[in-house]
Structure 1
Amino acid sequence: MLDIATAYNKYKFLGNDYLTWIWFLIETDQNISSLLNSKDVVTLEVGNSIVLENKLGDKSKEKITIKGDQAGLEEGTTALKKGAYVTQINLVCKINEDEYRFTIKGESLNITGLKTPKTDLSTKENEIEGVVLEKSFFCFNIFKVIDTLFLNYLEQRTADEWNIKGLQDIRNWIGSF
């Protein structure tokens, strides 16, 4: 059995690879709802920031950060061509009419800055429990989307045809810039 530090160092690329795969799904207009086997309409968009990292030959790293609501992703696509991968991405997820905004980090798959749909912030004491439950439900929705997509990614990544189909599709996408 691997100790924690060895396992971390061996598999830490998976989170960044996963975020790059998510960007690929978004840019190639993949049907997210079908990947999730969801009856709900689920869409993803790149939000207002994306961070990429490129390892350089001398153990140094190049970090590319793109921020802003109207920021173009040209610098990010150029970085992908040079071998960079996504280390952090801000996403907008729509589940039916509800909109969620959050940032996910590749190294840990931590979700930060989660903004859920608005709830009625009732001041009545007997309704506070309902507000808390509704917020919890919204958080659970996002965790379910991210976790299910990650499982889907792992199934594809470990499949025999990954090197033939999946990886080639991503390379073709990167080459199309």
Structure 2
Amino acid sequence: MGFFTGRVTFLRFAVGGPAPHLFDDDQLACLSEHAAGRQAVAAADGIEVGWSAGKSVLDLAFDLGKNVINDTLHFDMRVDTDRLPGDLLKAYYESDLAALAKDNPSGFASAKQKREAKESARDRLEAEAKDGRFKRRKCTPVLWDRASNEVLFGATSTSQVERFADLFQRTFGHPLELLTAGRQAERTAGALGLTGAADAPSGFVPGAGDEVAWVPGGGPADFLGNEYLLWLWFLTDRESDTLTLSDGSDVVLMPARTLSLECPRGVTGSETIASEGPTRLPEARRAVQAGKLPRKMGLTMVRHDQQYELTLQAETLGVGSCKMPDPPEDVSGARAKLEERATQVRELVETLDLLYARFLTVRLSPDWAGELERIRRWLVPADQRAA
């Protein structure tokens, strides 16, 4: 029940093709067909992936009552990996080698015997592994929201993204697209009719250059995520901690808990600061004045009296370890609380979208030149301003 209990972590994906009319037995049948442990052949690297039903790593019983909540379909991606224990492999090797070399006049094993012992030890261990005793199973929660036709994948690392997208397409016949900062900017610009371009990163400090080491050229402008976090930092430091969004609602923001910065030229390294108010510390200001850009920032957000505490990744806009609001006091019953949690997750995504759109209406407009100049002045050290 990854998205329905505890803290919430996710990357967002757009589903290619139309959303299902309803989540029903058809989707559950697709999940069962590609359930974990039912693959005929493992991948070339020995790793198997499949779906599980959410209650545990061994739960393969997909059910409408359990897996469909408030127009969302939730389940897990399970990754099965055989991890042969190195200490046991070494013990088998030593045992087999001693048996092979026991009659050697020299008392030492030959190179051929060492190779044979190594092969026999591995064969023995792999034979034992066939019953699953060395298998490690790890589940990552998945939430498919029919209303937005987006999928939330419960991780901020992209290491499993390719496996996940491939398994999803084989299961449901729909491709997935990771909604990074650049790709989300393209979608938002299209929806809002923004015509400005973000062809290159903004130079916030002298000598910053027009490249960001971790964003490859020719792809989505994911450096916008770094600029977005710096813009939020600037606003909360110099303007106000309250922003009015396009729907007329207000969101209160406070950078909190963590801040990671890195040199976009790959020269001066990276820095991570942990504090209740990391952006207020002098070392944080010195880092960004030296040209480092935020790659991750902790945020406390309040909108519609709902408070969220999360870590926001810059380039992927991934949400890490978000503390969700408690359910309202008038919501009682296990099912009602699950449905309320699904609504809260939707509202979190909506708030993040509206906040990012607020940035893009400035960044992708002629107003950005003036805003950029204000940020540059804010970054000038106090002693240089006095001079």
TM-score band, normalised by shorter chain: 0.7 to 0.9
Given candidates 331, 343, 347, the residue that maps to 1:141 is 347
Given candidates 239, 243, 252, the residue that maps to 1:29 is 239
Higher relative contact order (CA 8 A, sep 6+): 1
Task: Work out whether residues 255 and 277 of structure 2, in 8 Å CA contact, stay in contact via their aligned partners in 1.
Answer: no
Given candidates 305, 308, 319, the residue that maps to 1:111 is 319
Task: Work out whether residues 225 and 314 of structure 2, in 8 Å CA contact, stay in contact via their aligned partners in 1.
Answer: yes
Correspondence 1:42 to 2:251: yes
- CA drift of 1:66 comes to 0.5
Correspondence 1:97 to 2:302: no
Of 67-76 and 79-88, deviating more is 67-76
What CA deviation, in whole Å up to 9, does each residue of 1:59-110 have, x standing for no partner?
A: 4451111003365521111111111111100000112433210001001000
Partner of 2:366: 160
CA–CA separation in structure 2 for the residues paired with 1:51 and 1:27:
17
- CA drift of 1:50 comes to 0.6
CA–CA separation in structure 1 for the residues paired with 2:237 and 2:322:
22
- CA drift of 1:169 comes to 1.3
CA–CA separation in structure 2 for the residues paired with 1:17 and 1:75:
19
Backbone CA RMSD of aligned residues: 2.5
Task: Work out whether residues 44 and 91 of structure 1, in 8 Å CA contact, stay in contact via their aligned partners in 2.
Answer: yes
Structure 2 spans left out of the alignment, 5+ residues: 1-215, 383-387
- CA drift of 1:16 comes to 0.8
Structure 1 spans left out of the alignment, 5+ residues: none
With normalisation by structure 1, the TM-score equals 0.80
CA–CA separation in structure 2 for the residues paired with 1:176 and 1:42:
30
Given candidates 379, 383, 386, the residue that maps to 1:174 is 379
AA partner of residue 48 (structure 1): R
CA–CA separation in structure 1 for the residues paired with 2:283 and 2:273:
8
Q: Secondary structure of the equivalent of 1:55?
A: coil
CA–CA separation in structure 1 for the residues paired with 2:363 and 2:284:
23
* Same amino acid, percent of matched pairs: 23
Dislocated runs of 4+, deviation >4 Å: none
The answer to which structure has the higher helix fraction is 1
Q: Aligned pair count?
A: 164
AA partner of residue 371 (structure 2): G
Correspondence 1:17 to 2:17: no
CA–CA separation in structure 1 for the residues paired with 2:242 and 2:218:
30
Larger radius of gyration: 2
CA–CA separation in structure 1 for the residues paired with 2:292 and 2:260:
10
CA–CA separation in structure 1 for the residues paired with 2:260 and 2:286:
13
With normalisation by structure 2, the TM-score equals 0.39
